[in-house]
């Protein structure tokens, strides 16, 4: 059955919510509307966007961020700096950790569900006006959330690409400044077999004559070639901007601006200075349209928050939350865990998607882990906990480590707490679903082996 046929059947079987309906009704409706969550291509989104007209045409600068890893952190730092600069910010990201509303933020706060549903109704009305258009869940929600964000009349709109770039729904909006973060192997069934093919897809967000900031220190040739082909204003790490650091501070140099003696960003992790360096290149490239002071830059980096990105929750034991979900991100997580210093014990809560390259992820973490707690996740894409455990057992060379399987991330965390040394640490990683699963009842606080609400 085709995507369009599945969508038509789903539409016929579903009751269309109204602008006053709860957001949960809209999300359930979209889940039933089609049978395909990933459907790359811009034609469908462009048709509905044209029908929506001025309501989805930005009147402010648009910054679009693509990449394999580091997109969310980059978006959060940009949002924080521009907020400190006095601008009204709008940020669209995906996926969310716990609540869907996290995907649309105004001035650093998620929009209320009641402010989102009128935009869902507007997109649905445009979708079925004339010849109905089949939209995927991601396409529909992207249009709806950007529609809602633009209604808030922001001074700057920051968009995180979902997957790839060239054919991603976010690319329906022209970027005034495009950012490409680290590029590595992920979603290869959709984006191509190697970094060159994936880089070409990411470079689809670049626009002629406009800044294109590439924070990856060693970008694929395809990215540079595409920028030159369309005559984008290419900003390359190591050529147009660079940074240096020590344990106390770091410094940044761009084409015409420099920031000495910066405190390390509030976001922790091995790659955050690389991300922050790209962010400061954006700030310089966009300075004529969005001027910010050096003080706003310093405060923005010092105050930025972004849950689930090497997020350390103090307690006994220490809790580390990280959405690392591919080998490149897991390698950065392992490096960051090494940099934390000595812990007598590490318990790992791990759940992941079955379509990821799981073996190198498990191998990279295995030497750091004393006890594994594999968990099922609430999506059909997830690898079952027992399958993860079997894969680990076939890879590990350790005889002292132990592994257990659990039905949910919350249950896995409870078991990890029970097994933990109070002086040790618990790490939760592998997927947004894994971290979101332990955050769904609020930020866990650990002490004396007991979870406190």
Instruction: List beta partners, residue 90.
Output: 106, 157
Q: Which residue, of 303, 325, 343, is where some domain finishes?
A: 303
- Which among 174, 143, 136 is positioned nearest to 40, based on CA atoms? 136
- Which among 138, 165, 187, 164 is positioned nearest to 356, based on CA atoms? 187
- Note whether 36 and 86 are same-domain residues: yes
Q: Which residue, of 246, 270, 303, is where some domain finishes?
A: 303
Instruction: List beta partners, residue 271.
Output: none
Residue 104: per-residue pLDDT: 98
| pTM for this predicted structure | 0.89
Query: Residue 392 is part of a domain; what is its CATH number?
Result: 3.90.190.20
Cβ atoms 211, 178 nearer than 8 A: yes
Total domain count, the chain = 2
- Note whether 359 and 260 are same-domain residues: no
Residue 247 CA: distances (Å) to CA of 132, 250, 261, 335, 339: 57, 8, 12, 15, 11
CA 350 – CA 342 distance, rounded (Å): 21
- Note whether 155 and 86 are same-domain residues: yes
- Note whether 196 and 224 are same-domain residues: yes
- Note whether 266 and 380 are same-domain residues: no
Cβ neighbours, 10 Å, residue 238: 11
- Note whether 185 and 316 are same-domain residues: no
Residue 400: per-residue pLDDT: 81
| Residue 265 belongs to domain spanning | 3-303
Residue 192: per-residue pLDDT: 64
- Note whether 126 and 185 are same-domain residues: yes
- Note whether 31 and 80 are same-domain residues: yes
- Note whether 293 and 326 are same-domain residues: no
- Which among 55, 45, 35 is positioned nearest to 118, based on CA atoms? 55
Cβ atoms 280, 259 nearer than 8 A: yes
Residue 128: per-residue pLDDT: 93
Per-residue pLDDT of the chain (453 residues; tens, 9 = 90+): 234 444 443 444 468 999 899 999 999 999 887 655 556 678 899 999 999 999 999 999 999 999 988 999 999 999 999 999 999 999 999 999 999 999 999 999 999 999 999 999 999 999 999 899 999 999 999 999 999 999 999 999 999 998 888 889 999 999 999 999 988 866 656 666 788 988 998 999 999 999 999 999 999 999 999 999 999 999 999 999 999 998 889 999 999 999 999 999 999 887 899 999 999 999 999 999 999 999 999 999 999 999 999 999 988 999 999 999 999 899 999 999 999 989 999 999 999 999 899 999 999 999 999 999 999 999 999 999 999 999 999 999 888 888 999 999 999 999 999 999 999 999 999 999 999 999 987 766 666 444 443
- Note whether 281 and 332 are same-domain residues: no
User: Does an H or E element contain 349, and which?
Assistant: strand 346-350
DSSP state of 353: B
- Token duo for residue 119: 């935009």
Residue 282: per-residue pLDDT: 98
Query: Residue 139 is part of a domain; what is its CATH number?
Result: 3.40.1190.10
- How would you label 345-380 residue by residue, b for 16+ Cβ within 10 Å and e otherwise? bbbbbbbbbeebebebbbebbbeebbbbbbbbbeee
Say what angle helices 43-52 and 137-150 make with each other, to 10 degrees. 30
Cβ atoms 62, 174 nearer than 8 A: yes
Q: Which residue, of 277, 303, 329, is where some domain finishes?
A: 303
- Note whether 222 and 371 are same-domain residues: no
- Note whether 295 and 321 are same-domain residues: no
């Amino acid at each position: 059955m085709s995507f369009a046929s599945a969508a038509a059947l789903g539409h016929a079987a579903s009751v269309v919510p109204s602008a006053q309906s709860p957001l949960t009704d809209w999300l359930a409706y979209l889940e039933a509307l089609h049978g395909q969550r990933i459907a790359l291509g811009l034609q469908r989104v462009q048709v509905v966007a044209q029908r929506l007209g001025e309501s989805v045409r930005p009147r402010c600068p648009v910054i679009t961020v693509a990449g394999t890893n580091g997109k969310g952190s980059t978006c959060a730092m940009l949002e924080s700096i521009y907020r400190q600069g006095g601008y009204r910010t709008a940020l669209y990201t995906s996926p969310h950790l716990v609540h869907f509303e996290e995907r649309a933020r105004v001035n650093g706060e998620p929009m209320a569900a009641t402010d989102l549903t009128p935009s869902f109704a507007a997109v649905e009305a445009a979708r079925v006006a004339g010849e109905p258009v089949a939209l995927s869940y991601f396409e529909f929600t992207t249009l709806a959330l950007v529609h809602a964000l633009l209604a808030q009349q922001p001074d700057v709109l920051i968009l995180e690409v979902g997957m790839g770039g060239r054919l991603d729904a976010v690319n329906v909006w022209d970027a005034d400044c495009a950012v490409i973060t680290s590029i590595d192997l992920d979603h290869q069934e959709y984006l191509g077999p190697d970094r060159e093919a994936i880089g070409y897809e990411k470079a689809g967000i670049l626009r002629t004559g406009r800044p294109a900031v590439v924070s990856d220190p060693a970008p694929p040739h395809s990215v540079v070639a595409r920028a030159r082909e369309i005559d984008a204003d290419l900003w390359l790490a190591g050529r147009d901007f660079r940074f240096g650091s020590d344990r106390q501070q770091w410094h940044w140099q761009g084409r015409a601006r420099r920031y000495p003696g910066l405190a390390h960003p509030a976001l922790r992790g091995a790659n955050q200075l690389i991300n922050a360096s790209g962010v400061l290149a954006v700030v310089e490239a966009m300075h004529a349209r969005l001027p910010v002071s050096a003080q706003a830059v310093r405060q923005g980096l010092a105050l930025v928050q972004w849950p689930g990105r090497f997020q350390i929750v103090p307690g006994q034991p220490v809790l580390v939350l990280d959405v690392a979900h591919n080998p490149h991100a897991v390698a950065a997580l392992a490096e960051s865990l090494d940099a934390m210093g000595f812990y007598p014990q590490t318990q790992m809560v791990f759940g992941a998607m079955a379509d990821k390259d799981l073996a190198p992820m498990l191998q990279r973490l295995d030497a750091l882990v004393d006890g594994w707690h594999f968990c099922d996740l609430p999506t059909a894409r997830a690898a079952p906990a027992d399958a993860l455990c079997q894969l680990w057992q076939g890879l590990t060379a350790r005889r002292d480590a132990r592994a257990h399987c659990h039905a949910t991330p919350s249950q896995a965390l409870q078991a990890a707490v029970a097994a933990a040394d109070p002086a040790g640490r618990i790490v939760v990683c592998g997927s947004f679903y894994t971290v979101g699963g332990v955050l769904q009842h609020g930020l866990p606080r650990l002490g004396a082996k007991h979870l406190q609400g």
